[in-house]
Amino acid sequence: MSQLRVTLLQTDPVWQAPEENRQRLAKQLADVPDCDLIVLPEMFTAGFGSDPKHYSEAPDGETFRWMMDIAAQRQSAICGSYGVDIGDSVGNRLVWCEPDGSHTYYDKRHLFRMAGEHRRYISGRDRLLVNYRGWRINPQVCYDLRFPVWCRNRGDYDLQIFVANWPGTRRHAWRTLLQARAIENQAYVIGVNRTGPDPKGQVYTGDSLVVSPEGDILMDAGDVAGTYSATLDLTALQDCRERFPVHLDADTFEITFD
The model's pLDDT over 94-143, given as tens digits with 9 standing for 90+, comes to: 999 999 999 999 999 999 999 989 999 999 999 999 999 999 999 999 99
Q: Are strands 135-141 and 159-163 parallel, antiparallel or unpaired?
A: parallel
Please state, rounded to an integer, the average pLDDT across all residues of the chain.
96
d(CA 245, CA 257) in angstroms, rounded, equals: 31
d(CA 128, CA 137) in angstroms, rounded, equals: 8
In a domain, 258, yes or no: no
Q: What does the DSSP assignment read for 66-93?
A: HHHHHHHHHTSEEEEEEEEEETTEEEEE
Q: What is the pLDDT of residue 25?
A: 97
Task: Determine the 3-state secondary structure of 248 from DSSP.
Answer: helix
In a domain, 163, yes or no: yes
Catalytic residue among 79, 97, 108, 151: 108
Q: Which domain holds residue 219?
A: 3-249
Output the CA torsion 176→194→83→200 (10° steps). Answer: 100
142 labelled catalytic? yes
Catalytic residue among 42, 57, 98, 117: 42
Crossing angle of helices 18-30 and 62-74, in 10° steps, is: 10
Mean pLDDT of 34-47: 97
Let me know: does 11 contact 225? Beta carbons within 8 Å: yes
Q: What is the pLDDT of residue 50?
A: 72
Q: What is the pLDDT of residue 57?
A: 96
Share of the chain above pLDDT 90, in %: 94
In a domain, 196, yes or no: yes
In a domain, 55, yes or no: yes
Q: What is the pLDDT of residue 94?
A: 98
The model's pLDDT over 192-244, given as tens digits with 9 standing for 90+, comes to: 999 999 999 999 999 999 999 999 999 999 999 999 999 999 999 999 999 99
Q: What does the DSSP assignment read for 157-226?
A: -SEEEEE---BGGGHHHHHHHHHHHHHHHTSEEEEE--EEE-TTS-EEE---EEE-TTS-EEEE-TT--E
In a domain, 65, yes or no: yes
- How many helices (H) and strands (E) the chain has is answered by 6, 14
- CATH number at 144 reads 3.60.110.10
In a domain, 138, yes or no: yes
d(CA 87, CA 78) in angstroms, rounded, equals: 25
In a domain, 255, yes or no: no
Q: Residue 258 pLDDT more than 80?
A: no
d(CA 79, CA 83) in angstroms, rounded, equals: 14
Let me know: does 189 contact 181? Beta carbons within 8 Å: yes
- Total domains in the chain come to 1
pTM of the full structure: 0.97
Catalytic residue among 79, 97, 142, 151: 142
108 labelled catalytic? yes
Residue 152: pLDDT band (50, 70, 90) is: very high
In a domain, 254, yes or no: no
